[in-house]
Amino acid sequence: MSASNRRRRSIFDLIDEYLENLEAWAEGVRETLMERPSWNCRTCSMEPLRDIMVTGDEVIVTVDLPYAEQNTIQVKPVGKDAIEISAKMRRKISFDDFGITHYRGEFQRFHCQTRIPVPVYMDRMEIRFKRGILEIRLPRKHEYEIPVE
């Protein structure tokens, strides 16, 4: 941008630009912090895709677990606001299976930890597994209600 253009810009444009840059920087930092491989050769595990939905009554966590052996699926509460999910795969998966030859490693389980964004009753957790998708339903804990006058 030329110097003459820069002189014509108002303070509001400059503030807008500053906020935009700040937003872009924050987004960049967030993405960088979240960037990591979806696999771990040391623990022979893969991190599954997952999703969380919060409704008025419950929190629904779904996890995509292709090749998971149903009777090995474990969901454990970690404190009050997180759950740990693990499952064994029916077969070992190696990088070779994906045509990748520059890494070495085999995977035989899924593992991940997910934070639950609102208070829930961990002891009333309901779990089902259908079409390779694990669904975990956690009733929400409403600690108090504000009466409507």
Residue 20 or residue 141: which is nearer to other proteins going by CB?
A: 20
Least gap, CB of 53 to other proteins (angstroms): 9
Instruction: Give the span between the Cα atoms of 16 and 33, in whole angstroms.
Output: 26
User: What type of residue sits at position 59?
Assistant: V
Give min distance, CB of 32 to other proteins, in A: 12
Q: At closest approach, how far in Å is the CB of 131 from other proteins? A: 4
- Which is closer to other proteins, CB of 17 or CB of 141? 17
Which residue's CB is nearer to other proteins, number 67 or number 73?
67
| Inter-residue contact 93 to 78 (CB < 8 Å) | no
Tracing tokens 């999703």 back to the chain, one arrives at 51
Residue numbers at the binding site for other proteins (CB under 8 A):
20, 31, 38, 46, 48-49, 51, 62, 64, 66-67, 93, 97-98, 130-133, 135
Min dist. Cβ of residue 142 to other proteins (A): 23
CA dist., res. 24 & res. 120, Å (int): 34
Q: Which is nearer to other proteins, 44 or 49 (CB)?
A: 49
Q: Are 149 and 96 in contact (CB under 8 A)?
A: no
